[in-house]
């Protein structure tokens, strides 16, 4: 008798296991299908607008492809372009997980870049391997400090961080602009920018003949897995997730909300600051007002597109970098307005968000079906 | 279904009032499976004040939100002036002259009264003639006696004036069927009187009024007819002359009998006190004192039942004990630890808490089942060592939680929002029962559970006792409290007014004490 019961138990367990596996598989299929749907729709609707602008969409997309993926050095450029976006959005993923809406990455990036350039000028003469880490750390701290202000206001006075972080962007831009026009202006340049930092402090190039600097590899191979680890494996990450999902439940679970708010926002500010530092040491080799074409804002979209998953964000930032570079080529070769790039980016965001909605609905239906089949 | 039935049956049995609105067999099931309204019939006549009584969570507000167009019923129909109607929004309800004064005001503080009243009114054309509107409102004020200065900014108004402004807004839109959701909860004594005068005057002018409340005395003072809801069902409708305070209380609290009779094992009377609450004073969200000097102690291995009519400070008392609300005076000790005002210290001292607001407080719906099972375990070394999460420990614990109350789920990494309401309840109860080391604070722990699970909960409570763990059981269900408690305290107006031992506790005695706020000395 007990043997029979045992066997029944085993069978049930096996069915449960396969059920679970099938569920995972179906969820994966849903995700793939909706992503493809989003990309396809973006290209399709984008084509309509290209036609309206009086161009041939096939030519346009051909040059977009050429400009983003057409060859090794071009792919490297896409990677280089994606790097600051990736760093910013990895940081934002941490804050957004706790539903801390840091809109101030742009300002934090500028503060980071500024302090990095000042530090690089001060530390001139030191060997790179000792100075570069210090400079990047300082850049991170500058960004972290710029996020600390809204974090404290949010944690202690419940002031909405969306406003404070957004407003501080302008404050940061004006501070940097003052410093570049005044005390730190390169006397021999006709532009408001710092002097070029000494070559020893540039981030080393990893592939001769390209701009593939060490910061790119650091971001892709170190920062991305580390953020993944923080979000998925640490208590800090789990607390942020709980705080984001239900602040009242977080309080109820004994989580120190003030601490988590401050840490979450400061962490995102830190990575945005490092992004500024990396741009200064790796690409510009000086601080100037044009250091970011809105990386801090693009990072917000990318973090959301990647579903706050660091590896998803990696893909999303490559996509963004590709569209950015590709549309420049598109403009140069096919005379299609650069504005089309922003249009395509926006369409992509729109359709991917719609895709998420559909995904949620399908997943919900899947779970509902499972509940029905399961004996109560 | 119900096509031939023209009117609500109670309409015929009641006095001959002409019905303005009839709600027929209304059922509302929220996504997630919570049944808030179960086959409710309700009607209100011209010039009638109909009180809708019931405890929080009985389904009053849901029913009224359906009537005012905020929610759509899952099943059932609404008939206004003899014609069946369907509302897609409050605006459509207002077209049929139905309007609601919400418990929490919906006025915009920085705007003036007249601007608030005009907001969203398109029928007056694109040009806003405020002076004309002020004239009309002043006429309305003098006609109804609802004194408010239409030019005043809303933030300068007293609570009573704000409420009058809300009523004026509805009257200005020609609403004749007015729903008041707990309208006295924010008012002081004299303001309540003036509100009642207003209601009576409105009724005498032909308005139909639904007065939603959990306060029996007020319902008796103002209404012509009363309907009592309990657990989502309408349990009785009666005219004012048939109603008495005792009868209504009984209907509200429910004398249906608790489904189980748990075998009682009394805790030794000499056991040490484990949870000690001393002279606690706690303010509610609106800043008035809800707990005024409550003291009680729970012994080791004891189930202490806290009985009381809803709204006597239970909520605030519990929140102060578990640390979610800082008391302004007094202390809470758990074991040797002083835990006042800190959820973390409460948990570390061995406390667990099943909150009444399960979804709002007890769970993070977007996160998966295993994280939700170990929400409070993150402070423990086993689960989180050197800042890293011990996944296998969490999974193991989640399996235990799931097993205790047989939570039905596709897998442990299913987001909790995909579970049914009942299963989420089981998950939370299971988690707290598995977590508790010293004292379990259980707030309405069996509300919304099926009989089988209620039995499980009671068994689990007794099992805790066996291990020397105590429980503080807060429930408005007197039968539940009587079934499992060793001692029973009664909370009234923010104080513990009496403590009965299980042997001297009878439903009559405790019920009387809950109502009057003092132990019935004669029958003792």
Q: Are residues B314 and B289 in the same domain?
A: yes
Please list, in sequence order, all residues whose beta carbon lies within 8 angstroms of the beta carbon of residue B225, skipping any fewer than 6 positions away: B14, B48, B49, B50, B51, B237, B238, B239, B240
Residues B1 and B85 in one domain: yes
Residue B236 belongs to a domain: yes
Burial class (CB in 10 A: 0-12, 13-18, 19+), B138: middle
B372's CB contacts (< 8 A; 6+ apart) are: B363, B364, B416, B427, B431
pLDDT at B237: 92
A–B interface: beta-carbon pairs under 8 A: 87
Please indicate whether, in this complex, the C-beta atoms of A234 and B379 are within 8 angstroms of each other: no
Residue B337 in domain: yes
Same domain, B361 and B344: no
pLDDT in tens, A234-277: 999 999 999 999 999 999 999 999 999 999 999 999 999 999 99
In A, what residues contact B, Cβ < 8 A? 19-20, 23, 233-239, 241-242, 244-246, 248-256, 363-364, 367-368, 370-371, 374, 376
Domain count, chain B: 3
- Residue B144 located in a structural domain: no
- Predicted pLDDT of residue B260: 52
Of A128-137, A306-315, B349-358, B407-416, the poorest mean pLDDT is in B407-416
Q: Identify all chain B residues contacting A236, using CB atoms and an 8 Å cutoff.
A: 387
Q: How far apart, in whole angstroms, are the C-alpha atoms of residue B68 and residue B97?
A: 10
Distance from CA of A230 to the nearest CA of B (A): 9
Is there a domain that residue B135 lies in? no
Span B452-489, pLDDT tens digits: 777 788 888 888 888 889 999 998 778 788 888 889 99
Contact A224, A90 (CB under 8 A): yes
Residue B367's closest chain A neighbor by CA? A245
Q: Is the pTM higher than 0.90? A: no
- To the nearest whole Å, the CA of B427 is away from the closest chain A CA by 14
Determine, for residues B408 and A374 on separate chains, whether the beta-carbon distance falls below 8 Å: yes
Mean pLDDT estimate for chain A: 88
B367 in the same domain as B343: no
**What is the chain A residue with the closest CA to B380?**
A235
Which residues from A are below 8 Å from B326, CB to CB?
A: none
- For residues B429 and B373, membership in a common domain is answered with yes
Checking if the pLDDT of A153 tops 90, the result is yes
One domain for residues B248 and B279:
no
Over range A265-291, report the average pLDDT.
95
Does B378 sit within 8 Å of A253, measured CB to CB? yes
Best residue in A24, A28, A253, A258 for a mutation probing chain B (most B CBs within 10 Å)? A253
Q: Are residues B335 and B472 in the same domain?
A: yes
- How crowded is residue B283: how many other Cβ atoms within 10 Å of its Cβ? 16
Residue of A nearest to B392 (CA): A233
**Chain A residues whose beta carbon lies within 8 Å of the beta carbon of residue B344:** 254-256
Whether B37 maps to a domain, the answer reads yes
Test A249 with B389 for CB contact under 8 angstroms.
no
Q: What is the mean pLDDT of each run of 10 residues along chain B (524 residues)?
A: 40 58 88 75 93 81 90 90 89 90 83 87 70 89 87 85 90 91 77 88 92 86 92 88 85 60 58 90 87 92 88 90 92 88 90 88 90 86 82 90 82 80 85 91 80 78 87 84 89 90 84 77 47
pLDDT of residue B477: 74
Does this complex have an ipTM over 0.85?
no
Q: Do B364 and A233 touch (CB under 8 A)?
A: no
Q: Do B384 and A235 touch (CB under 8 A)?
A: yes
Alpha carbons A308 and B61: distance in angstroms, whole number: 37
Fold of A74-320: ABC transporter involved in vitamin B12 uptake, BtuC (1.10.3470)
Q: What is the pLDDT of residue A14?
A: 65
What distance in Å separates the CA atoms of residue A221 and residue A310, rounded to the nearest whole number?
Answer: 11
Determine the residue among A18, A243, A254, A369 to mutate to test chain B binding: the one whose Cβ has the most chain B Cβ atoms within 10 Å: A254
Confidence (pLDDT) at B54: 83
What's the CA gap between B516 and B168, in Å, rounded?
Answer: 37
Helix A72-97 and helix A257-279: axis angle, to 10°?
160
* A327, A329, A335, A337 alpha-carbon torsion, rounded to 10°: 20
Sequence-distant (6+) residues with CB within 8 A of B419 are B369, B407, B408, B409, B427
Q: B213: burial class by Cβ within 10 Å (0-12, 13-18, 19+)?
A: buried
Give the mutation candidate from B410, B435, B453 for the A interface (greatest A CB count, under 10 A): B410
Q: How far apart are CA A11 and CA A4, in angstroms?
A: 11
Distance from CA of B215 to the nearest CA of A (A): 28
CA distance A360 to chain B (A): 11
B499 domain residue, yes or no: yes
Q: Chain A contacts of B347, Cβ < 8 Å?
A: 253-254
Rounded CA separation B366/A166 (Å):
27
Cβ contacts of A249 on chain B, cutoff 8 Å: 361-364, 375
Domain that holds residue B505: 272-350+439-444+467-517
B323 and B364 in one domain? no
If asked whether residues B247 and B384 sit together in one domain, one would say no
By Cβ distance, the residue of A23, A238, A370 closest to B378 is A238
Q: Tokens standing for A291?
A: 């250091």
Give me the pLDDT at residue B183, please: 86
Best of A13, A27, A235, A373 to mutate (most B CBs within 10 Å, chain B): A235
Q: Which of A238, A245, A251 sits opposite B324 (nearest CB)?
A: A251
Check CB contact under 8 Å for A376 and B408: yes
Question: CA-nearest residue of chain A to B383?
Answer: A235
Contacts of B363 in chain A (CB under 8 A): 246, 249
Question: With an 8 Å Cβ cutoff, are A370 and B347 in contact?
Answer: no
Higher-pLDDT residue of B210, A367: B210
* Residue B303 to chain A, least CA–CA distance (Å): 22
DSSP letter string over A123-146? TTTS-HHHHHHHHHHHHHHHHHHH
Residue at B160 is within a domain: no
For residue A275, the model assigns a pLDDT of 97
Counting Cβ atoms within 10 Å, is residue B100 exposed (0-12), middle (13-18) or buried (19+)?
buried
- Residue B79: both structure tokens together: 């008939």
Q: Report the DSSP pairing between strands B208-213 and B49-53.
A: parallel
User: How close B293 comes to chain A (CA, Å)?
Assistant: 24
Q: Identify whether residues B2 and B73 lie together within a single domain.
A: yes
A371 neighbourhood in chain B, CB within 8 Å: 408, 410, 418, 420
CB neighbour list of residue A24: distance below 8 Å, 6 or more residues apart? none
Mean pLDDT of A167-175: 96
Question: How far, in Å, CA of B132 to CA of B137, rounded?
Answer: 9
Contact flag A254-B347 (C-beta cutoff 8 Å): yes
Chain B residues whose beta carbon lies within 8 Å of the beta carbon of residue A255: 344, 378
B53 in the same domain as B79: yes
**DSSP 8-state secondary structure symbol assigned to residue A276:** H
Best of A245, A257, A267 to substitute, by most chain B Cβ atoms within 10 angstroms, is A245
Reference B259, options B431, B127, B454; nearest CA is B454
* pLDDT confidence of residue B1: 38
Q: Which residues of B touch A (CB under 8 A)?
A: 322, 324, 342-344, 346-348, 353, 355, 360-367, 371, 375-376, 378-379, 384, 387-389, 391, 408, 410-411, 414, 418, 420
Interchain proximity B371–A238, CB inside 8 Å = yes
Residue B430: strand pairing partners: none
Q: Are residues B233 and B248 in the same domain?
A: yes
Task: Classify residue B163: in a domain, yes or no.
Answer: no
Chain A residues touching residue B414 (CB < 8 angstroms): 367
Nearest beta carbon to residue A254 from set B379, B384, B388: B379
């Amino acid at each position: 008798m007990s043997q029979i019961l045992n066997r029944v138990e085993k069978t049930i367990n096996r069915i449960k296991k396969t059920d679970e596996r099938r569920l995972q598989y179906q969820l994966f299929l849903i995700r793939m299908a909706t992503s493809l749907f989003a990309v396809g729709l973006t290209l399709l609707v984008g084509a309509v607008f290209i036609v309206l602008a009086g161009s041939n969409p096939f030519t346009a997309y051909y040059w977009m492809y050429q400009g983003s993926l057409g060859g090794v050095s071009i792919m490297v450029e896409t990677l280089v372009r994606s790097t600051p976006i990736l760093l910013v959005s990895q940081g934002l993923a941490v804050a957004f997980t706790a539903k801390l809406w840091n809109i101030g990455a742009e300002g934090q990036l500028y503060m980071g870049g500024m302090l990095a350039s000042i530090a690089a000028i001060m530390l001139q003469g030191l060997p790179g391997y000792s100075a570069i880490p210090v400079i990047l750390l300082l850049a991170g701290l500058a960004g972290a400090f710029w996020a600390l202000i809204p974090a404290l206001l949010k944690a202690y006075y419940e002031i909405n961080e969306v406003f404070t972080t957004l407003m501080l962007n302008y404050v940061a831009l004006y501070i940097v602009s003052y410093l570049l026009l005044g005390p730190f202006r390169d006397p021999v340049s006709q532009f408001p920018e710092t002097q070029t930092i000494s070559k020893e402090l540039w981030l080393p190039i990893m592939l001769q003949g390209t701009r593939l600097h060490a910061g790119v590899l650091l971001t892709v191979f170190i920062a991305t897995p580390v953020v993944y680890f923080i979000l998925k494996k640490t208590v800090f990450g789990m607390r942020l997730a709980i705080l984001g999902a239900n602040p009242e439940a977080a309080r109820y679970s004994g989580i120190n909300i003030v601490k988590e708010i401050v840490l979450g926002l400061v962490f995102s500010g830190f990575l945005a600051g490092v992004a500024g530092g990396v741009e200064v040491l790796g690409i510009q080799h000086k601080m100037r007002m044009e250091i970011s074409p809105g990386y801090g804002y693009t990072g917000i979209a990318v973090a959301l597109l990647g579903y706050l998953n660091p590896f998803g964000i990696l893909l999303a930032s490559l996509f963004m970098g590709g569209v950015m570079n590709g549309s420049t080529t598109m403009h140069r070769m096919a005379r299609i307005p650069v504005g089309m790039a922003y249009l395509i980016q926006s369409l992509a965001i729109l359709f991917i968000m719609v895709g998420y909605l559909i995904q949620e609905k399908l997943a919900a239906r899947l779970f509902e079906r499972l509940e029905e089949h399961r004996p109560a | 279904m119900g096509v031939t039935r023209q009117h609500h049956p109670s309409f015929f049995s009641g006095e001959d009032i002409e019905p303005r609105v009839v709600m027929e067999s209304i059922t509302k099931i929220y996504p997630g499976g919570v049944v808030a309204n179960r086959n409710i019939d309700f009607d209100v006549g011209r010039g009638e004040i109909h009180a809708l009584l019931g405890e929080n969570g009985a389904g009053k507000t849901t029913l009224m939100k359906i009537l005012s167009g905020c929610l759509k019923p899952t099943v059932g129909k609404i008939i206004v002036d003899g014609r069946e109607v369907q509302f897609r929004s409050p605006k459509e309800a207002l077209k049929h002259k139905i309007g609601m004064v919400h418990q929490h005001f919906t006025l915009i503080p920085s705007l003036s009264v007249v601007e608030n009243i005009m907001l969203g009114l398109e029928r007056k054309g694109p040009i806003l003639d405020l002076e004309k509107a002020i004239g009309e409102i002043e006429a309305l004020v003098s006609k109804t006696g609802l004194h408010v200065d239409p030019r005043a900014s809303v933030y300068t108004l007293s609570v009573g004036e704000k409420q009058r402004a809300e009523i004026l807004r509805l009257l200005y839109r020609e609403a004749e069927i007015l729903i008041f959701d707990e309208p006295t909860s924010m008012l002081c004594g004299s303001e309540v009187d003036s509100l009642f005068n207003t209601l009576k005057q409105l009724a005498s002018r032909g308005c139909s009024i639904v007065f939603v409340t959990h306060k029996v005395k007020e319902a008796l003072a103002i209404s012509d007819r009363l309907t009592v809801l309990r657990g989502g069902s309408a349990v009785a409708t009666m005219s004012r002359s048939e109603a008495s305070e005792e009868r209504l209380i009984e209907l509200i609290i429910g004398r249906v009998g608790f489904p189980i009779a748990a075998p009682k094992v009394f805790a030794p009377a000499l056991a040490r006190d484990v949870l000690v609450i001393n002279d606690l004073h706690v303010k509610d969200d609106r800043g008035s004192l809800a707990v005024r000097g409550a003291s009680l102690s729970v012994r080791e291995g004891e189930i202490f039942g806290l009985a009381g009519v809803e709204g006597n400070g239970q909520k605030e008392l519990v929140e102060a004990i578990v640390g979610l609300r800082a008391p302004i005076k007094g202390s809470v000790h758990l074991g040797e630890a002083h835990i006042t005002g800190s959820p973390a210290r409460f948990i570390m001292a061995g406390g667990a808490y099943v909150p009444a607001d399960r979804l709002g407080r007890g769970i993070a719906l977007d996160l998966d089942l295993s994280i939700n099972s170990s929400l409070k375990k993150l402070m423990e070394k086993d689960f989180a060592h050197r800042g890293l999460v011990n996944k296998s420990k969490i999974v193991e614990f989640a399996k235990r939680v799931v097993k205790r109350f047989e939570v039905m789920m596709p897998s442990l990494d299913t987001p909790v929002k995909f579970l049914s309401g009942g299963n989420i309840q089981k998950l939370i109860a299971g988690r707290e029962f598995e977590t508790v080391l010293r004292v379990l604070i259980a707030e309405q722990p069996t509300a919304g559970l099926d009989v089988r699970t209620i039995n499980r909960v009671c068994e689990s409570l007794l099992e805790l006792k066996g291990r020397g763990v105590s429980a503080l059981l807060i429930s408005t269900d007197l039968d539940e409290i009587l079934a499992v408690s060793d001692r029973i305290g009664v909370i009234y107006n923010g104080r513990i007014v009496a403590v009965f031992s299980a042997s001297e506790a009878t439903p009559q005695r405790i019920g009387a004490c809950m109502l009057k706020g003092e132990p019935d000395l004669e029958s003792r």
